[in-house]
């Protein structure tokens, strides 16, 4: 079976960066599962679908013309890599992701991404649902205030408007929705290694996780 490293945790903990660094070091593939839900949210809005209407959203998910190519995310051939990174797209993603039918429709698609020599997958339910047999599971956490502060700095660096109290509130709201949903809620798998990145640089997180990689593989 193709080896998989499953990385889960709330938004803004550095999961994506960690996954990319690990994949580069190991020369493995990556799966940014959040991008799938973000693309679905965007596609739903473009089709004028209500984000709480599970039937049409599930049909859309089952036939989503999504493709990851050269670090780009394509929807129906269009590069939507930037369009899916807004706070609004994140909120829409978290709403469409709460539907059980949607998640079921995307399950096999995600599992097919596990190809040799290995896969580093990040999201909310990589270790608990999608790759529940993964030999290494990491749960990356950080306080909402620290995550909002990181996001604030990222936005400012890009010259974009940012409001720190609103970012904290948005993060808390998205966390609450992701943790409380009935299907595949955000939680650490029982056999996950917990890493709190609140007081760690990404390099420190990477080194910590590399220790686990050497222990397991
Ligand atoms: O990780 P990212 O912030 O891009 O994910 C956006 C949203 O997609 C999350 O807030 C979550 O609701 C949803 N998601 C999910 N399961 C995953 C990955 C993301 O429900 N495996």
Q: Which alpha helices (H) appear in the chain, and where do they start and end? A: 15-26, 33-46, 54-62, 87-96, 100-111, 144-157, 164-180, 202-216
Whether residue 107 is found in the same domain as residue 125: no
**Token pair recorded at residue 83:** 């369009």
Confidence label for 175 from pLDDT (cuts 50, 70 and 90): very high
Distance 35 CA to ligand 1 centre (A): 7
pLDDT in tens, 17-29: 999 999 999 999 9
Best substitution site from 8, 18, 32, 37 to test ligand 1's pocket, by max atoms within 8 Å of Cβ?
A: 37
Q: Which residues are annotated as a binding site for ATP?
A: 9-17
205 pLDDT more than 90: yes
Ligand 1 atom 11: residue of nearest CA: 94
pLDDT in tens, 143-156: 999 999 999 998 89
State the CATH number of the domain containing residue 82. 3.40.50.300
Q: What pLDDT, on a 0 to 100 scale, did the predictor assign at position 160?
A: 85
Is this complex scored with an ipTM above 0.85?
yes
The ligand 1 atom nearest the CA atom of 178: 12
Best substitution site from 15, 33, 34 to test ligand 1's pocket, by max atoms within 8 Å of Cβ?
A: 34
Q: What percent of the chain has pLDDT above 90?
A: 94
Confidence label for 184 from pLDDT (cuts 50, 70 and 90): very high
Whether residue 159 is found in the same domain as residue 52: no
Q: Domain range spanning residue 63?
A: 34-116
Confidence label for 217 from pLDDT (cuts 50, 70 and 90): very high
Q: What pLDDT, on a 0 to 100 scale, did the predictor assign at position 158?
A: 87
Whether residue 128 is found in the same domain as residue 153: yes
- In the predicted model, what is the mean pLDDT of the chain? 96
Domain boundary among the residues 116, 139, 164 is at 116
Q: Cα–Cα–Cα angle for 186, 188, 193, nearest 5°?
A: 145
191 pLDDT more than 90: yes
Whether residue 67 is found in the same domain as residue 128: no
Distance 39 CA to ligand 1 centre (A): 11
Read off the DSSP letter of residue 129.
I
160 touches 104 (CB < 8 A): no
Ligand 1 neighbours (beta carbon < 6 A): 11, 33-34, 37-38, 90, 93-94, 97, 123-125, 174, 178
What does the alpha-carbon distance between residue 215 and residue 213 come to, in Å, rounded to a whole number?
Answer: 5
Tally of domains in the chain: 2
Q: Quick one: which of 19, 21, 32, 28 has its CA closest to 137?
A: 19
Q: How far is Cα of residue 52 from the mean position of the Cα atoms in its chain?
A: 20
Ligand 1 atom 16: residue of nearest CA: 124
Phi, psi of 19 (to 5 degrees): -60, -45
170 pLDDT more than 90: yes
Whether residue 151 is found in the same domain as residue 102: no
Q: What pLDDT, on a 0 to 100 scale, did the predictor assign at position 42?
A: 98
Domain boundary among the residues 82, 116, 150 is at 116
217 touches 136 (CB < 8 A): yes
Whether residue 74 is found in the same domain as residue 23: no
Q: What pLDDT, on a 0 to 100 scale, did the predictor assign at position 111?
A: 98
Domain boundary among the residues 68, 92, 116 is at 116
């Amino acid at each position: 079976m193709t080896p998989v490293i499953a990385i889960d945790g709330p938004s803004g903990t550095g999961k994506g960066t960690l996954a990319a660094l690990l994949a580069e070091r190991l020369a493995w593939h990556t799966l940014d599962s959040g991008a799938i839900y973000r693309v679905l949210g965007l596609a739903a809005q473009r089709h004028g679908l209500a984000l709480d209407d599970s039937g049409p959203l599930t049909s859309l998910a089952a036939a989503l013309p999504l493709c990851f190519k050269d670090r780009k995310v394509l929807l129906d051939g269009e590069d939507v890599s930037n369009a899916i990174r807004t706070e609004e797209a994140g909120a829409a993603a978290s709403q469409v992701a709460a539907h059980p039918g949607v998640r079921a429709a995307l399950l096999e698609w995600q599992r097919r991404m596990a190809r040799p020599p290995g896969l580093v997958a990040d999201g909310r339910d990589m270790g608990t649902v999608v790759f529940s047999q993964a030999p290494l599971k990491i749960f990356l956490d950080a306080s909402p205030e620290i995550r909002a502060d990181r996001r604030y700095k990222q936005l400012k660096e890009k010259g974009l408007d940012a409001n720190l109290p609103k970012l904290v509130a948005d993060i808390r709201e998205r966390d609450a929705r992701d943790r409380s949903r009935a299907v595949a809620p955000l939680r650490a798998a029982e056999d996950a290694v917990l890493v709190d990145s609140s007081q760690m640089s990404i390099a420190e997180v990477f080194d910590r996780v590399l220790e686990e990689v050497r222990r397991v593989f």
